[in-house]
């Protein structure tokens, strides 16, 4: 992997001095203690820089990177006799994937990675498959958060960064993982390196600091095997691999992509409309995923022909944009990005391809799991007045949201699709219609009683913002847009927890009869870094299944 000595922050940074670095220069905070911490982690892993697995009931898919290129394929050892040969995913031999099939449900497998000549490349660990679709597990715990990306090499303005330093983000992640979730859902914005968005790119990927650090991306060249590969590893890989390291090696992860993962912000002007993604944006998003975090494994109820699924350059049957976390008959999480299939067709425009919408509504109508939870990248319920939202709201002169004037380049069809999905969710029988999303850099909870002319009052849609793992002092919507998240005027939304612009995450505990949500918060302006190690929930919500 490229050297990180210019920007890595110490995982061990503590105290008021460490907190002070958030408000001074992130680059100065990349000290010798950071290098010592990173080197210690790598030494423990014996050359393994990061490892992120996902699972279903019969398969593992694992993405890994190594400190030095490997000329021969490494081997994943499974138990006493099983072996899976690694497949190189980059041009240099630093990034590899392991696809283990034919596994037994609800089984913990001892795993280890070794070089072709048998030399250990990481400490052994265990990983468990999920229950079979017809099994009846009684408990499931899921950690959910958004916006974990951020790079210590690109401060925003006046020496302040839009992101928490890497050390603080990892400390927050460690605390979240201390609650021992069965799975992790990282909902969007794993990478911030915007390249063309008029407002965001000069502060991020198009800034002089960014160009000096990672170079200039050339959209006319392939990514792998050219200078673009070094660019991607420095700009994108260094926001993922050092954050996660091997922390999640025994915890399946599910990564949903959002706008910044396509290396741009959702913005629209007369000069630039950033989405639908251009070919180079899709190539960067796909290659980042190919190198660093796993695609979604197949699910029997998800069509194999959805957009971004079953590509020939990916493991068989996986999906890149639309996924499922299926846990027996207890729960099904529908995971979907709205960015790659966005259209600009006015009244018939959509965020989600019509076949994806059909799949989502079919799963909401099905009755084969106790719980069905939607996890979209674009949040229903709240608006910050930005372009690429479900809603037509814009920021008015009084500092409030309004629809009295049109939102430039916004598409009326997006809202129509939103209303169809909310109506389908509210119509579910015997289940709580729950949406957990990210993007807006906040913690929030509400109940949607009406959307447009559609009455949802008999079974209100519960909407939750999951909290941001990586937002820094300058990255909140109120800092960048002049307004925080507010209910759209298109809705009748009961706010049980008004949006809090604070770092945090949620833990969802599921049993056959209920969902319990616990909310965790940490305030970068107020709380000490040490307090992350003992963070406890500040709010608990119990959602009982309707009788």
pLDDT digits 0-9 by tens, 200-234: 999 999 999 999 999 999 999 999 999 999 999 99
pLDDT at 393 over 60: yes
- Name all contacts of 209-217 with Cβ < 8 Å and 24+ positions apart: 209/153, 209/154, 209/155, 210/151, 210/153, 210/154, 210/235, 213/6, 213/7, 213/153, 213/154, 214/153, 217/263, 217/280, 217/284
Residues in the chain, how many?
547
Handedness of CA 356, 357, 360, 366 (dihedral sign): negative
pLDDT range class, residue 480, cuts 50, 70, 90: low
Contact 380, 440 (CB under 8 A): no
Q: pLDDT (tens digit, 9 = 90+) per residue, 507-516?
A: 999 999 999 9
Rounded to an integer, what distance in angstroms lies between the CA atom of residue 236 and that of residue 381? 30
Predicted confidence at residue 257, as pLDDT, reads 98
Residue 107's closest CA among 31, 55, 46?
55
Q: Are 464 and 439 in contact (CB under 8 A)?
A: no
The tokens for 222 are 């392939």
Yes or no: say if 305 and 267 are a contact pair by the CB < 8 Å rule.
Answer: no
E-assigned strands of 19-94?
Answer: 48-55, 60-66, 75-78, 82-85, 87-88
Top-confidence residue, 309 or 17: 309
- Model confidence at 399, pLDDT cuts 50, 70, 90, reads confident
- Report how far residue 231's alpha carbon sits from residue 237's, in angstroms, rounded to the nearest whole number: 9
Tokens of 142: 């899921």
Average pLDDT of span 246-256: 98
Give the tokens for residue 328: 């027996």
Please give the pLDDT value at position 472. 85
Q: Which fold has domain 138-521?
A: Purple Acid Phosphatase; chain A, domain 2 (3.60.21)
Residue 400: predicted pLDDT: 86
Give the residue from 81, 183, 176 showing the smallest Cα distance to 129.
183
If you average pLDDT over residues 295-303, what whole number do you get?
A: 97
Spell out the residues 6+ positions from residue 251 whose beta carbon is closer than 8 angstroms to its own. Answer: 53, 177, 181, 182, 183, 184
Q: Is 46 left (phi over 0), alpha (psi -120 to 50) or beta?
A: left
- The proportion of the chain whose per-residue pLDDT surpasses 90, expressed as a percent, equals 83
Q: What letters, b where the CB count within 10 A reaches 16 and e where it falls short, cover 357-378?
A: bebbbebbeeeebbbbbbbbbb
Which pLDDT does position 473 carry in this prediction? 77
Strand pairing report for 183-187 and 140-145: parallel
pLDDT of residue 474: 72
381: DSSP letter: S
> Which pLDDT value is given to residue 157?
61
The model's confidence at residue 447, banded by pLDDT at 50, 70 and 90, is very high
Distances (CA, A) of 24 to 36, 149, 294, 398: 22, 19, 35, 33
Q: What pTM value is reported for the model?
A: 0.92
Cis check for the bond before 276: say yes or no (omega within 30 of 0): yes
Q: Pick the closest to residue 367 from 298, 428, 458 (CA basis).
A: 428
Which H, E and C letters describe 518-536, residue by residue?
EEEEECCCCCCHHHHHHCC
pLDDT of 38: 47
The yes-or-no verdict on residue 358 having pLDDT over 60 is: yes
Lowest mean pLDDT among 152-156, 224-228, 277-281: 152-156
3-state secondary structure 299-365: CCCCCCCCCCECCCCCCCCCECCEEEEEECCCEEEEEECCCCCCCCCHHHCCCCCHHHHHHHHHHHH
Helical (H) or strand (E) element with 498: strand 491-500
Give the mean pLDDT of 143-164.
85
Q: Answer left, alpha or beta for residue 106, where phi above 0 means left and psi between -120 and 50 means alpha.
A: left
pLDDT band at 19 (very low <50, low <70, confident <90, very high): very low
Average pLDDT of the segment spanning 389-409: 92
What's residue 479's pLDDT? 66
pLDDT reading at 270 higher than 70? yes
């Amino acid at each position: 992997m490229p050297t990180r000595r210019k920007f890595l922050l110490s995982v061990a940074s503590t105290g008021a001095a460490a907190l002070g670095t958030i408000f001074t220069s992130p680059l100065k905070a990349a000290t010798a203690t950071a290098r010592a911490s990173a080197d210690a982690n790598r030494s423990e892993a014996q050359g393994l820089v990061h490892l992120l697995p996902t699972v279903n009931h019969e398969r593992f898919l694992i993405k890994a990177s190594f400190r030095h290129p490997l000329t021969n394929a490494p081997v994943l050892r499974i138990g006493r006799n099983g072996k899976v040969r690694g497949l190189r995913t980059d041009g240099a031999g630093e990034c590899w994937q392991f696809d283990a099939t034919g596994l037994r449900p609800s089984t913990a497998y001892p795993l280890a990675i070794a070089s072709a000549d048998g030399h250990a490349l990481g400490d052994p660990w265990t990983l468990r498959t999920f229950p079979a679709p017809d099994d009846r597990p009684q408990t499931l715990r899921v950690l959910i958060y958004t916006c974990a990306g951020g790079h210590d090499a690109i401060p925003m303005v006046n020496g302040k960064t839009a992101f928490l330093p890497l050390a603080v983000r990892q400390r927050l992640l460690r605390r979240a993982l201390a609650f021992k979730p069965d799975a992790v859902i990282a909902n969007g914005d794993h990478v911030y390196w915007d390249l063309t968005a008029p407002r965001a790119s000069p502060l991020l990927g198009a800034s002089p600091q960014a160009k000096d650090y990672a170079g200039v991306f050339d959209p006319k060249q392939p990514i792998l095997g050219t200078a673009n590969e070094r660019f991607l590893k420095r700009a994108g890989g260094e926001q993922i691999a050092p954050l996660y390291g091997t922390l999640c090696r025994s915890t399946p992860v599910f990564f949903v992509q959002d706008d910044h993962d396509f290396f741009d912000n959702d913005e629209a002007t007369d000069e630039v409309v950033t989405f639908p993604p251009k070919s180079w944006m899709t190539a960067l998003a796909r290659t980042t995923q190919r190198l660093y975090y796993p695609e979604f494994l197949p699910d029997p109820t998800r069509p194999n022909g959805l957009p971004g699924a079953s590509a020939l350059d990916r493991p068989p049957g996986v999906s890149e944009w639309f996924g499922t976390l299926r846990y027996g008959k207890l729960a099904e999480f529908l995971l979907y990005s709205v960015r790659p299939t966005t259209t600009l067709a006015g009244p018939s425009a959509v965020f989600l391809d019509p076949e994806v919408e059909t799949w989502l509504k079919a799963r909401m109508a099905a009755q084969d799991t106790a719980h069905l939870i939607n996890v979209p990248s674009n949040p229903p319920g709240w608006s910050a007045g930005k372009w690429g939202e479900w809603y037509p709201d814009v920021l008015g002169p009084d500092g409030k949201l309004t629809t009295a004037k049109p939102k430039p380049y916004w598409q009326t069809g997006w809202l129509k699709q939103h209303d169809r999905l909310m109506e389908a969710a509210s119509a579910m029988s015997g289940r709580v219609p729950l949406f957990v999303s990210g993007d807006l850099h906040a913690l929030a909870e509400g109940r949607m009683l009406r959307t447009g002319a559609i009455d949802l009052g008999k079974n209100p849609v519960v909407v939750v913002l999951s909290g941001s793992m990586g937002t820094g002092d300058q990255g909140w919507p109120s800092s960048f847009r002049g307004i925080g998240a507010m209910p759209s005027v298109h809705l009748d939304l009961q706010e049980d927890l008004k949006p809090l612009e604070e770092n945090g995450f949620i833990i969802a505990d599921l049993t056959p009869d209920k969902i319990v949500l616990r909310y965790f918060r940490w305030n970068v302006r107020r709380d000490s870094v040490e307090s992350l190690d003992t963070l406890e929930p500040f709010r608990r919500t119990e959602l009982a299944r309707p009788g």
